[in-house]
Amino acid sequence: MPEMVVPTFNQITLTLRDSLAKKVQNGTQEVELLSWMSRTALELVGQSGLGYSFDSLTDEECAHPYSQALKGLLLLLSVTFWPRTYIFPWLVKLIPAPILRSLSFYWPSANLRHGRELADYMWKLSTEIYQEKIRALNQGDETVVEQIGTGKDIMSVLINENMKASDEDKLDENELIGQVHFQDVLRKNFSLAVSTLIFAAMDTTSSALGRTLLLLAENPAVQSRLREEIIEARQENQGEDLGYDELVSLPYLDSICRETLRLYAPVPRLMRTAVKDTILPLSTPVIGTDGSVITEIPVPSGTNVHISIMGSNRNEALWGPDALEWKPERWLNPLPNVVSEAKIPGVYSHLMTFNGGGRSCIGFKFSQLEMKVVLAHLVETFEFTPSSKKIDWHYAAVSNPYVREEGSNRVQLPIQMSLVKKV
């Protein structure tokens, strides 16, 4: 599957490149890149995940309503963390979900009503995309028939496999649509859906891309070395766009992505709830307040456990005294034995960035590929330098950059851009 989406990724990113090139064709310009990265990430997952175009990526058109709805819902999930975590699970056990949804129309909470409206819109659009694809397939649309037959996007793969399944194994329409959504506490009780696939590939990836571009702007030597690697790879590929095999074989590009995801995970913390009584062994014993040595911690069923992804990824005992420094070169050599011996349960490179186990990020390979395709095209074409504006990063469901302006913070990522001078 990753190999199949690269041509689509290249096509979309080239459109982005051309739009940005128009903005800087007359010289260096400050460009707000976070919005462009969000729009691009949504279009990448839209076309390769759903076979649907959300954004033409031309000029300064506004973000698609789906993107705005997702961002709004993520913000609501952040500001309603405590009731969502400690009150709603209790309500679920007492009141059937349909009744809870009905009550949400009368509940005196603007946040709840707004969240329900946003999520209902997202679910409605996902349903329309699915139904339109099925309608076109039934009418014999050659493009859709070929798209589903070859599995050019994730939704097409699901439809194709479902068509081949036996009657008892077939998924109904809602189950198929649900394959691109995850149902959290809110969704189960108030029909508030958040798309896992789009969330994993949009806001988190745009955050990681924005952070990487800012780091490259602040580290011109790293930026130049990466550009040289990309140009050399293109020359070896007879000037053609880099395919999957070429992209994943670029060591410095891979090192930059890994180091950014290590030091600046887009989601720096997570929470898990123990489903049964368990014992957590400690890798390093700690001394209790009474002087006793503690080697394990009992966790009763129902306990919410808050986990610091950032704390694990930046642990100096594993990564060394320079753990807080952004050093892509650390990945060009074998990692210290202590890192592999720590048995960090992450699915990606001894890191907790994409979590681990059965609840790990389903789109982590997709996200890495997005980053590499976008960076390869943009770094080859543009030179990035820092803006004079002060940029801070804050966490609200996902880490985002904020610019301080006239006493207020705005979600923005201004970076100076210019076309690379051809030698």
Binding-site entries for heme: 361
Residues placed in the known binding site:
361
In a 13 Å sphere around the CA of 227, the CA atoms on its Cβ side amount to 20
Percentages of the chain per state (helix, strand, coil), in multiples of 5: 55, 15, 30
> How far apart, in whole angstroms, are the C-alpha atoms of residue 3 and residue 381?
24
| CA 67 to centroid of chain Cα atoms | 13
**Which single residue is written with the structure tokens 């913000």?**
75
Residues 41 and 206: beta-carbon distance below 8 Å: yes
Phi, psi of 155 (to 5 degrees): -60, -40
For 18-52, b where at least 16 C-beta lie within 10 A, e where not — what string?
Answer: ebbeeebeeeeeebbbbbbbbbbbbbbbbbbbbbb
Count CB neighbours of 69 within 10 A.
Answer: 19
Going through 288-370 in order, the beta strands assigned E by DSSP cover 293-299, 304-308
> How far apart, in whole angstroms, are the C-alpha atoms of residue 231 and residue 239?
9
Q: How far is CA 29 from CA 32, 60, 224, in A?
A: 10, 15, 19
> How far apart, in whole angstroms, are the C-alpha atoms of residue 16 and residue 361?
26
Q: How far is CA 125 from CA 46, 67, 118, 335, 392, in A?
A: 12, 12, 11, 45, 34
Provide the 8-state DSSP code for 188.
Answer: H
Degrees to nearest 5, angle at CA 285 with 282 and 291: 135
DSSP string, 54-115: -----TTPPPPHHHHHHHHHHHHHHHTHHHHHHTHHHHHHHS-HHHHHHHHTTSS-HHHHHH
Of 366, 260, 359, 367, nearest in space to 314 by CA: 260
Q: Is 265 helix (H, G, I), strand (E, B) or coil?
A: coil
DSSP string, 357-417: GGGS-TTHHHHHHHHHHHHHHHHHHEEEEE-SS-EEEEEESEEEEEEEETTEEEE--EEEE
